[in-house]
A and B are shown apart, each in its own frame.
Chain A
Amino acid sequence: MAVTRERLTRALAPKVVAVIGDKKASGYNWLRSMKEFDGPVYSVQVDENEIPGIEELGIPNYKSLTDIPDQVDFAVCAVPRQVAPFIVQGCVEANVGGVTLFTSGFAETGEDIGVELQNKIFEIADPSGLALIGPNCMGLHVPGLGVRFNRDQPAGVQGNIGFVSQSGTHGMNFSLTGAAHGLYCSTLVSFGNGIILEAADYLEYLVDDPQTEVIGMYIEGARDGQRLFRTLREVAAKKPVIIWKGGQTEGGGRAIRSHTASLASDQAIWEAMIRQVGAVAVHNLDEMIDVVKATLLTKRTQGNRLGLIAMTGGQSVVLTDAFEKAGWRVPTLSEKSYSQLSEFFNIIGGSYRNPLDAAGTIGQDPKHLDTIFDILNADENIDAVGMELSATFMARRWQDKPEEFDRLIGSLKRFMAESDKPFLAALHPSHVEEAAHTARLRLQEEGIATFPSFERAANALRKASTLAAVN
């Protein structure tokens, strides 16, 4: 029986939560992670040795799901694998909306007993319509509701990124590292073996979810590839989808007698599928974060001509190299722009050809940055604007004189508000990395797309601009 949307919504946006089988040995990870949950949390534990510790946390414990005097929408199950089928049966009887099976040791082990237990769970859950997440997964993270599976994950903040992950680690890392970049999830699901609900089900939910503006996905393989393909084709036309495919599936091992079959590697097919549906492929966590960031924080352009502002001559050169290598052009500006720039630009130790080597000019009078932005905004040769924010020269200074940093941020935000051209900034790691990191966090909090290298900035903006849903 298919899981209804109503049932899935109860599970993924719960009002009442239960944790089954948490214990001291695991540091009460699940119960503690739910500390910020925006509603009642119950524990289910039959072990008399464990109950006092749970009650000390201030969480009411029951011996069975059906004893809980509340309708549970979402349950986390962390019991040993032999017990898992009984818990799933309990969830069905208690009309729980959905359950995450953190429990592992099923089909992924390749053991007969694991496969048998997984089949048993499927047979119990499938006819009931229970929204079963997993097994062998970390489950659900909804920061807006305080649903977490790790205590470092954010809570009390409404995010806008839907994330679907076959791996618990990569899902968790996206939520944690993403938050350090100012990126927060609307709903994140790690679905592991995905025996009832698989990637396509979560995608269908997220495309309809009003909180979700962009969707990220980590996937290793699909049980029903055609369904995933068709679902992605619909979803990626409506919302940007960024896909990180991990691992290589081995070929069938059959004798291949055609060129076509010999060239059809797993990687070639996935990359083609991702392009075909109008999603974009990324290859690691950093790139996922970069492209999500560019998609959310920069405007879209059909053009590829960049106006660049750098703080030194050397950076002007490598900034240009990085963007041109990624397919951008750094053209000369219009005659009108040059005549305007010549009126105030300090060319001693500077240059305004494009990139604009502008540290001296801005140092002379910070208002000059606004003028430069206005000129680039009006210039018809320019589709997007990128800027080097020099950590080497400025990070410490911003720490000492925060008003200067505030003024810089004011100028960037003014340009972003007034121009339709995408804007992005690069702030490299430096010898004063703590100060640079603080500055980067602040820039991101202010909604300014900031990247730790020119290459990452150039790649992210290019990939974001190929997404079907934004074109």
Chain B
Amino acid sequence: MTDVIAAARAEQRTLLSEVEAKQLLAEAGVNVTETRLAASAEEAASHAAELGYPVALKVVSDAITHKTDVGGVELGIADEAELRTAWDAIHARVADSAPGADLHGLSVQPMAEPGAEVILGITQDQQFGPVLMFGLGGVFVEVLKDVAFRIVPLEPRDASEMVREIQGFPLLEGFRGQPAANLEAIESMLLQLSEFAEANPEIAELDLNPVFARPDGAIAVDARILLTSDS
């Protein structure tokens, strides 16, 4: 479990790749889309065949924090032919917008069935230690800052209350014919993250953004982990 962290430390990195972050989370039992690193188009094609189409391809580089900003993401790839085209397209765009960025390759992951987009996160507070955040994704978190916090460790009641505390909560209950999100799945993911934060004090920041909250469960489709700088 600590291998990923040890490897990052050995390279003096504090930002984990999406592949590494998801590996850590999956080992902790958090439901994430399975994500594999491919160094070549051939390798990507073989991962995709195993994971099942449609898939997403995303650039993996220490130098790139915001993958979409550099054109490093292709979604909804239907078959191997599209995959090979997407592979070349991403490399061309990244070479153009982030010249000289050192690429580890691209990550391959199956497209998750969409649901209400929520964000779950961890940060470290100077006084209270690890803190959990929950909110709706997209503009709700970025513009309206409609989020709820709790101090770790969370009790089940805390998870239940923080999900219901946000202003946008009715959107999760199935607003205007949208399917209702599975609140229990979100709550249990919050409780898993609480344990994860307690077990891994080296995690300075974590964003699961977005998590798709569907009627049948919740799954994190992107993950970002930043380690503490002192160690």
Query: A260 vs B165: C-alpha distance in the bound complex, in angstroms?
Result: 16
Query: A251 vs B150: C-alpha distance in the bound complex, in angstroms?
Result: 18
**A-side interface residues toward B, CB under 8 Å?**
221-222, 225-226, 229, 249, 251-252, 254, 256-261, 263-264, 268-269, 272-273, 275-276
Please tell me if the beta carbons of B125 and A225 are within 8 angstroms of each other in the complex.
yes
- How many A-B contacts are there with CB distance less than 8 Å? 85
Please tell me if the beta carbons of B207 and A276 are within 8 angstroms of each other in the complex.
no
Please tell me if the beta carbons of A249 and B127 are within 8 angstroms of each other in the complex.
yes
B158 within 8 A of A: yes
**Could you say which of B65, B133, B158 contacts A264, with CB atoms under 8 Å apart?**
B133
The prevalent SS among residues of B at the interface is strand
Give 1 or 0 for each of B169-191: 1 = CB within 8 Å of chain A CB.
Answer: 00000000000000000000000
Which of these binds chain A: B49-57, B82-90, B115-123, B211-219? B115-123
Please tell me if the beta carbons of B145 and A263 are within 8 angstroms of each other in the complex.
yes
Please give, as numbers and ranges, the residues of chain B lying within 8 Å of A260 by CB-CB distance: 119, 121-123, 133, 205-207
Please tell me if the beta carbons of B207 and A258 are within 8 angstroms of each other in the complex.
yes
Please give, as numbers and ranges, the residues of chain B lying within 8 Å of A252 by CB-CB distance: 126
B149 within 8 A of A: yes
Give 1 or 0 for each of B100-121: 1 = CB within 8 Å of chain A CB.
Answer: 0000000000000000000101
**B-side interface residues toward A, CB under 8 Å?**
15, 65, 119, 121-129, 131, 133, 135, 141-142, 145, 147-151, 158, 161-162, 165, 204-207, 209, 224, 226, 229
**Could you say which of A222, A259, A275, A276 contacts B142, with CB atoms under 8 Å apart?**
A259
Please tell me if the beta carbons of B207 and A264 are within 8 angstroms of each other in the complex.
no
Please give, as numbers and ranges, the residues of chain A lying within 8 Å of B142 by CB-CB distance: 259
Please tell me if the beta carbons of A258 and B224 are within 8 angstroms of each other in the complex.
yes
Please tell me if the beta carbons of A225 and B129 are within 8 angstroms of each other in the complex.
yes
- Distance in angstroms from B52 CB to nearest chain A CB is 30
Chain A residue with the shortest CB-CB distance to B119: A259
Query: A269 vs B147: C-alpha distance in the bound complex, in angstroms?
Result: 11
Please tell me if the beta carbons of A257 and B147 are within 8 angstroms of each other in the complex.
no
Query: A151 vs B204: C-alpha distance in the bound complex, in angstroms?
Result: 50
Please tell me if the beta carbons of A254 and B141 are within 8 angstroms of each other in the complex.
no
Given contacts A257-B226, A259-B119, contact A264 B131 (CB under 8 A): yes
Please give, as numbers and ranges, the residues of chain A lying within 8 Å of B135 by CB-CB distance: 263
- Distance in angstroms from B178 CB to nearest chain A CB is 23
Chain A residue with the shortest CB-CB distance to B208: A260
- Distance in angstroms from A322 CB to nearest chain B CB is 23
Query: A162 vs B97: C-alpha distance in the bound complex, in angstroms?
Result: 62
Please tell me if the beta carbons of B123 and A258 are within 8 angstroms of each other in the complex.
yes
Please give, as numbers and ranges, the residues of chain A lying within 8 Å of B128 by CB-CB distance: 222, 225-226, 229, 269, 273
Query: Can you give 23 A-B contacts (C-beta < 8 A)?
Result: A221-B127, A225-B129, A225-B151, A254-B204, A254-B229, A257-B205, A258-B121, A258-B123, A258-B206, A259-B119, A260-B206, A261-B123, A263-B147, A264-B125, A268-B149, A269-B127, A272-B131, A272-B149, A272-B162, A273-B151, A276-B150, A276-B151, A276-B161
Please tell me if the beta carbons of B149 and A269 are within 8 angstroms of each other in the complex.
yes
Please give, as numbers and ranges, the residues of chain B lying within 8 Å of A258 by CB-CB distance: 121, 123, 205-207, 224, 226
Given contacts A254-B229, A272-B149, A276-B151, contact A261 B126 (CB under 8 A): no
Chain A residue with the shortest CB-CB distance to B126: A252
- Distance in angstroms from B168 CB to nearest chain A CB is 14
Chain B residue with the shortest CB-CB distance to A250: B126
Please give, as numbers and ranges, the residues of chain B lying within 8 Å of A268 by CB-CB distance: 147, 149
Query: A263 vs B207: C-alpha distance in the bound complex, in angstroms?
Result: 12
Please give, as numbers and ranges, the residues of chain B lying within 8 Å of A254 by CB-CB distance: 204, 229
